[in-house]
A and B are shown apart, each in its own frame.
Chain A
Amino acid sequence: MGRIQLKSVTKSFGDVQVIPPLDLTIEDGEFTVFVGPSGCGKSTLLRLIAGLEDITSGQIEIDGADATEVPPAKRGLAMVFQSYALYPHMSVRKNIAFPLRMAKLEQAEIDSRVEGAAQVLNLTDYLDRRPGQLSGGQRQRVAIGRAIVREPAAFLFDEPLSNLDAALRVGMRLEISELHKRLKTTMIYVTHDQVEAMTMADKIVVLQAGVIEQVGSPLELYHNPRNEFVAGFIGSPKMNFIKGDEAKKHGATTVGIRPEHCDVSKSEGLWKGVVGVSEHLGSDTFIHVHETGLADMLTVRVTGDISANHGDTIFISPQTDQLHRFDAQGLRMP
């Protein structure tokens, strides 16, 4: 069980209000990702849920019971920190067993749970090492192990993968998703990496300056962003935004078109521009197009091989049904 409900929660540090009144419900078993730019209050929100920070006003309910005043240890949540926060003087075994020892479980029970967690996380060979003798990915797994042995109502992850290299990050991402499928426990995952958000989440919460911009499934956010911010934040590379006359033609203040929704031709098209940098990723090529007279730069995706050299003239035609229109307030128009 792990249904978490925030009711008009606010948080201020001194005079600065970091989280304005915020309502959010996280359903039992859901994998929820908080995503947003640096400093938008993701960690703060997670720490409020964990109980490591006191909320300034509002209410937090866990499984329907008011948990606002409940100390962190009693909330039944487990947290995985960005720095892993392993206990350096304890072996991996002792690290994982620590929450169980604190809960005064029987030694036999502790042993079997630690062994179980080690098996799940491929840590069996490392149980007697110190954290200092492990690689980044192994430390991460120990931190997760320490969280899962408690069998918590929900897991809280604060950017757990940001200290890992790219390849390991992809691997751990899969392992965490796998773990979620197996345990079916509520997970709240903080990241500023929208790829992590898109690939892992059941539900994404996009935050900006402590305000929830939109809540929805990854594809919902991709196809129907509520406003310009979400449209720009979700999707990689970023959506192209065009203002001015071209937008007015569509009856909007701004129009947005994703790089993957542009047709590219060397001979004809709606918009004409000059090729800048081309980023070849193998399967796709992203071409930066300048001097279109629409925006500083447009990014377009080209699949397969295309020979577009720096300085070549190129034509872009947006797929009109994929065009997003935004009004003066930045809200998406239907």
Chain B
Amino acid sequence: MATQHSRSAARLMMAPAVILLLGWMLVPLTMTLYFSFKKYLPLRGGDLGWVGFENYVRFVSSSAFWPAVQATLVIVGGVLLITVVLGILLAMLLDQPMWGQGVVRILVIAPFFVMPTVSALVWKNMFMDPVNGLLAHLWRFFGAEPISWLSEASMTSIIMIVSWQWLPFATLILLTAIQSLDSEQLEAAEMDGASPLNRFWHIILPHLSRAITIVILIQTIFLLSIFAEIFVTTGGAFGTRTLTYLIFQRVLESQNVGLGSAGGVYAIILANIVAIFLMRIVGKNLDA
């Protein structure tokens, strides 16, 4: 792309894709913004005109708002913690030469291929069902009273389900990172008298910091908008109503498009705040 001519040709050819993507983003965004300033109740009179910032004020002052923000952050934080910690452990385990390595790796990655709706249903009915679930059987085997997971430990359950789904992703990224570690560095550390724990702490973990950053960034983006797992399990009850879920309820259950759109704009702002925050904390790892 050295000459003027080839540069403009390149721009021309990229234009359709850029315009399509831009439209894909801009149209919903503008529509959300548009509706957020309207009183729009599809089943109760339709478009009832402009209302200014009323929707925004109502969305925040609703008693459900702050608990929803909190639930969102707890789920994101909990899943990140579990997937990163277990992901590092699993990656180190899978990096060891062992019998049947190929099969084990595929098994570990498998959950990632299961659709969120399906995996949540499997967990709900197969594991967490208080009467017939495997966990209930396990509890009874040890003589304990089975827990009705989704109502008594709703948050823990959701975090467990989502972590199970995202663990393969974290493991995979961290495994490739571990495999790129120069084994001579570990040997040098061994000769320098570092114990296995010290080698992990001083050599492996710093080497993984970049991969961990990537895992955290990508997962956060996706986790902020988890929906299916909540929809098919608790339906937003028992304190598991996240911001995404709250918006869904406002739009579809209360049929208040304006209010939901205002919530959508808040969600965008929240996502950006989290993103800036993360970039600040961990982003410096990326350009090192």
Listed in ascending order, the chain A residues whose CB lies under 8 Å from chain B are 50-52, 71-73, 77-79, 81-83, 85-89, 98-99, 102-103, 146, 150
Write the B178-190 contact mask toward A (1 if CB under 8 angstroms, else 0): 0000101101111
From 204 to 236 in chain B, residues with beta carbon under 8 angstroms from any chain A beta carbon are: 206-207, 209
Q: Sample 12 A-B pairs with CB under 8 A, ordered by A number.
A: A51-B191, A52-B191, A72-B191, A73-B193, A79-B187, A83-B182, A83-B184, A86-B185, A89-B209, A102-B192, A102-B194, A102-B198
Across-interface contacts of B140 in A (CB, < 8 A): none
> What is the number of residues of chain B that contact chain A, defined by CB distance less than 8 Å?
19
Minimum CB–CB distance for A11 against chain B, Å: 16
B271 at the interface (CB under 8 A from A): no
A102: nearest chain-B partner, CB-CB: B193
8 A-B pairs besides A52-B187, A102-B192 with CB distance below 8 A are A73-B193, A79-B188, A85-B182, A85-B187, A86-B185, A89-B206, A89-B288, A102-B195
Minimum CB–CB distance for A141 against chain B, Å: 15
Across-interface contacts of B209 in A (CB, < 8 A): 89
Q: A99 touching B192 by the CB < 8 A rule?
A: yes
Across-interface contacts of A146 in B (CB, < 8 A): 188, 192
**Whole-angstrom distance between the alpha carbons of A99 and B185 in the complex?**
13
Given A78-B191, A98-B192: A87 and B182 within 8 A (CB)? Answer: no
B58 at the interface (CB under 8 A from A): no
Across-interface contacts of A79 in B (CB, < 8 A): 187-188, 191
Q: B192 touching A150 by the CB < 8 A rule?
A: yes
B274 at the interface (CB under 8 A from A): no
B202 at the interface (CB under 8 A from A): yes
Across-interface contacts of A87 in B (CB, < 8 A): 185, 188-189, 202-203, 206
Minimum CB–CB distance for B109 against chain A, Å: 29
**Whole-angstrom distance between the alpha carbons of A103 and B195 in the complex?**
10
Q: A50 touching B191 by the CB < 8 A rule?
A: yes
**Whole-angstrom distance between the alpha carbons of A98 and B191 in the complex?**
11
**Whole-angstrom distance between the alpha carbons of A150 and B191 in the complex?**
10
Q: A98 touching B190 by the CB < 8 A rule?
A: no
**Whole-angstrom distance between the alpha carbons of A257 and B198 in the complex?**
56
Q: A73 touching B187 by the CB < 8 A rule?
A: no
Q: B192 touching A73 by the CB < 8 A rule?
A: yes
Contact of B187 among A77, A81, A103, A150 (CB under 8 A): A81
Across-interface contacts of B190 in A (CB, < 8 A): 52, 71-73
- Which of B185, B192, B193 gathers the greatest number of chain A CB atoms within 10 Å? B192
Across-interface contacts of B203 in A (CB, < 8 A): 87
Across-interface contacts of B191 in A (CB, < 8 A): 50-52, 72-73, 77-79
A50: nearest chain-B partner, CB-CB: B191
Minimum CB–CB distance for B127 against chain A, Å: 41
